[in-house]
């Protein structure tokens, strides 16, 4: 007798019956880049279909996204002006704080996540306070904690620290609790690699570092065991959700975190991963929808509960078309 796995692949109904991994709209988080001004919609050249949007525009987009099935968004901000201490990150009327209030008013049900970092707001583009060419850890914690508290005050459901400063999750948890935001959750970018795949994001967020790079705080790509220590630290400091980033070139790490930690796990399909698919599709070299869905499925199969992706809307559309 020969074994015949092909029996269960004969048609769509059989394949669907035995399918092990399914994406659902609630898995996705759609990122937005909020910029100053009114009626601004500026496409990012390296990220087709992704825009810098002013507060009025992002509010409309968030509402349209909700109507098409998106349940969560993450906000990044381009401030009016940048300075050494990233004051735009924690200003009460900062760009993300204003967008959060406006979106909360117009789409109350939408989950709003605020990215908690300083790089978009510092004049030098690093994720913390710089002195003598170095990014200072403990001085940066205070600013990150203030940023998270002001995002919570504006109405963010979840704050997402991404600066890779040691102790940031604990500092943020303390600040949130002290300001009465004990119900604001933390999604920690626990395992964030110093990756070339963030290139297009730095165009979108205008956050490229003015000197040097982020290798002294983001993780070294060859390390996976170290990722377990990073995840353990953030977990013990009170992270509600852990994240691995980028996603597809770190699926092994994602699986390792999945196997060891029982908190919800997120993966960020980052700007460069998006741009690669877009560019090949524009050249007609691949079928965009197929490659998009295969990629997002691989991230879920490796263990992610939550996927942050610029493709959220398209993936939801493709899921609806397939049923
Ligand atoms: C902020 C931050 C970055 C990304 C998310 N949060 C950029 C960076 O670390 O340089 C990248 C997201 C993407 O590439 O889509 N520190």
Cβ–ligand 1 distance for 119 under 6 Å, the answer yes
In this structure, which residue's CA is closest to atom 11 in ligand 1? 198
10-residue mean pLDDT profile of the chain (323 residues): values are 97 97 97 98 97 98 98 98 96 98 98 98 95 95 98 98 98 98 98 98 91 95 98 98 98 98 98 98 98 98 98 98 85
Domains detected in the chain: 21-322 (3.20.20.70)
Q: What is the pLDDT of residue 250?
A: 98
Reply yes or no on whether 60 is catalytic: no
pLDDT tens per residue, range 73-115: 999 999 999 999 999 999 999 999 999 999 999 999 999 999 9
- pTM for the model stands at 0.97
Q: Using a 6 Å cutoff on CB, does residue 122 contact ligand 1?
A: no
Q: Which residue in the list 82, 192, 278, 300 is annotated as catalytic?
A: 192
* Tokens encoding 74: 């993450």
Q: How many CB atoms lie within 10 A of CB 89?
A: 29
147 in ligand 1 pocket by Cβ < 6 Å? no
Q: Residue 23: CB partners within 8 Å, gap ≥ 6?
A: 293, 296, 297, 300, 307, 315, 319
| Residues 73 and 30 sit within 8 Å (Cβ to Cβ) | yes
- pLDDT at residue 323 in the model: 72
Q: Is 192 a catalytic residue?
A: yes
Ligand 1 center from residue 250 Cα (angstroms): 15
Q: Which of 60, 82, 245, 283 is catalytic?
A: 245
> How many A from CA of 207 to the centre of ligand 1?
9
């Amino acid at each position: 007798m020969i074994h015949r796995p092909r029996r269960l692949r004969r048609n769509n109904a059989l394949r669907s019956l035995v399918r092990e991994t399914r994406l659902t709209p609630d898995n996705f988080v759609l990122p937005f880049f909020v910029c100053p001004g009114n009626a601004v919609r500026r496409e990012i050249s390296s990220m087709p279909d992704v825009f810098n949007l002013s507060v009025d525009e992002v509010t409309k987009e968030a509402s349209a996204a909700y109507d098409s099935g998106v349940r969560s968004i993450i906000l990044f901000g381009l401030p009016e002006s940048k300075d050494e201490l990233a004051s735009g990150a924690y200003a009460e009327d900062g760009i993300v704080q204003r967008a959060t209030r406006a979106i909360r008013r117009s789409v109350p049900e939408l989950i709003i996540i605020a990215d908690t970092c300083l790089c978009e707001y510092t004049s030098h583009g690093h994720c913390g306070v710089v002195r003598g060419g170095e990014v200072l850890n403990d001085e940066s914690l205070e600013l990150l904690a203030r940023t998270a508290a002001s995002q919570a005050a504006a109405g963010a459901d979840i704050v997402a620290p991404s600066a890779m400063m040691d102790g940031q999750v604990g500092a943020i948890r303390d600040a949130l609790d002290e300001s009465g935001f004990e119900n604001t959750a933390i999604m920690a970018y626990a395992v964030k690699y110093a990756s070339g795949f963030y290139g297009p994001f730095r165009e979108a967020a205008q956050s490229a570092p003015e000197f040097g790079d982020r290798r002294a705080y983001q993780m070294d790509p060859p390390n996976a065991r170290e990722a377990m220590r990073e995840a353990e630290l953030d977990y013990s400091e009170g992270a509600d959700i852990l994240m691995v980033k980028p996603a597809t070139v770190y699926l092994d790490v994602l699986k390792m975190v999945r196997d060891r930690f029982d908190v919800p796990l997120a993966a960020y399909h980052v700007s460069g991963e998006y741009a690669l698919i877009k560019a090949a599709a524009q050249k007609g070299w691949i079928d965009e929808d197929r490659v998009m869905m295969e990629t997002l499925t691989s991230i879920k199969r490796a263990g992610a509960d939550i996927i942050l992706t610029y493709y959220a809307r398209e993936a939801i559309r493709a899921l609806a078309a397939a049923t």
